[in-house]
Amino acid sequence: MKVADPLPPGSRVGILGGGQLARMLSLAAARLGIDCHIYAPEAHSPAFAVSAARTIAAYDDFAALEGFARAVDVVTYEFENVPGDTAGFLDRFVPVAPGVAALKTAQDRIAEKTFIDGLGIPVAPFAEVSDTATLERALSRIGTPAVLKTRRFGYDGKGQTKIHPGADPDAAFAEIGRQPAILEGFVAFEKEISVIAARSWSGEVAVYDVPENHHEHHILKTSTVPASIPADVAEKARGFGGRIIAALDYVGVIGVEMFVAGGDVVVNEIAPRVHNSGHWTMDACHVSQFEQHIRAICGWPLGAPDRHSDVVMTNLLGDEIGRWCELAAEPAVHIHLYGKAEARRGRKMGHFNRLTPRQP
């Protein structure tokens, strides 16, 4: 189903998932007079405190899903591991954005890489792996070092292992739980960047500036905008983002993670949702990725993605949340906390954007 006419203020957006991304979507929607209804299995979800309505139920509780679908005007999600059956079921009652086809492509690393490669956009060499024998064949074609990743459900470096020259393939396959997998050639990248783009139901596309991303222990730590890359490389990355979102017939905000290697841009993966490396847009742009997503899925005109400031976004992980008071005292810092009670190690508790005047 599609949203034909712009949903007026007072409409309801349903969000699958109740974490910080849903929370920030809900806050952005509220500014536009749109209410959010969160659907999540966890009784203490960060998004509940700032949303108009909630359903606490499992993602395969079809009676609860139907009640949720009937109570909202459009459904979206804050994480990519929504079961395909769930999204497909909801789509019988209410528009779902991004759509089920885009979701399925992004959920499976083989489908994702095949799709991007088919657009003529560079990806790491890759091969499908189903057992140790196919892994050995893939290694003899792709070589080492290489990265073995589960086809599905990987995030923040989980479900993947690097294979060094001479390593035992069977041990590597055991390490990722002997699950259906993908072998990728290791990209000796100079930088990690990403592109945050949005597309409306009518096909209008808006692409933000390119952040440079630094990870610690596989978790995003900072996004710096502008990235220190040549302008033509940034334009190429933005162009790839725009082509991917259009070819997916996608509605909403997408995050496309990329490597810069040898001055070229190689696409790593697609996140079919608002993205942590787009949090800087909340304070350095007039229209944040969260407002942009709500605009896109509700059939509103997209906002200009223009950036008015230079910015570094820093995630507050685990007990770094303890810096809140010191950070709140800095005039150029905009702080966003997610209302999570327990500061477990590596857990995303909040982030802050430090702005500086935009350099020409």
What are the residues binding ligand AMP (CB under 6 A)?
124, 147, 154, 157, 160, 184, 186-187, 192, 215, 218, 257, 268-269
CB nearer to ligand AMP: give 221 or 347: 221
User: Shortest gap between Cβ of 129 and ligand AMP (angstroms)?
Assistant: 14
Rounded CA separation 149/206 (Å)? 31
Judge whether 270 and 254 are in contact, CB under 8 Å: yes
Judge whether 144 and 168 are in contact, CB under 8 Å: no
Q: Three-state SS across 34-75?
A: CEEEEEECCCCCCCHHHCCEEEECCCCCHHHHHHHHHHCCEE
User: Shortest gap between Cβ of 60 and ligand AMP (angstroms)?
Assistant: 25
CB nearer to ligand AMP: give 238 or 275: 275
CB nearer to ligand AMP: give 105 or 160: 160
Rounded CA separation 77/267 (Å)? 23
SS3 318: helix
Strand 35-40 to 53-56 pairing: parallel
CB nearer to ligand AMP: give 164 or 358: 164
User: Shortest gap between Cβ of 240 and ligand AMP (angstroms)?
Assistant: 16
User: Shortest gap between Cβ of 188 and ligand AMP (angstroms)?
Assistant: 7
Residue position matching structure tokens 């223009």: 306
User: Shortest gap between Cβ of 110 and ligand AMP (angstroms)?
Assistant: 13
CB nearer to ligand AMP: give 158 or 178: 158
CB nearer to ligand AMP: give 266 or 287: 266
Rounded CA separation 180/183 (Å)? 10
SS3 196: strand
Least Cα distance to 162 among 141, 142, 178, 186 occurs for 186
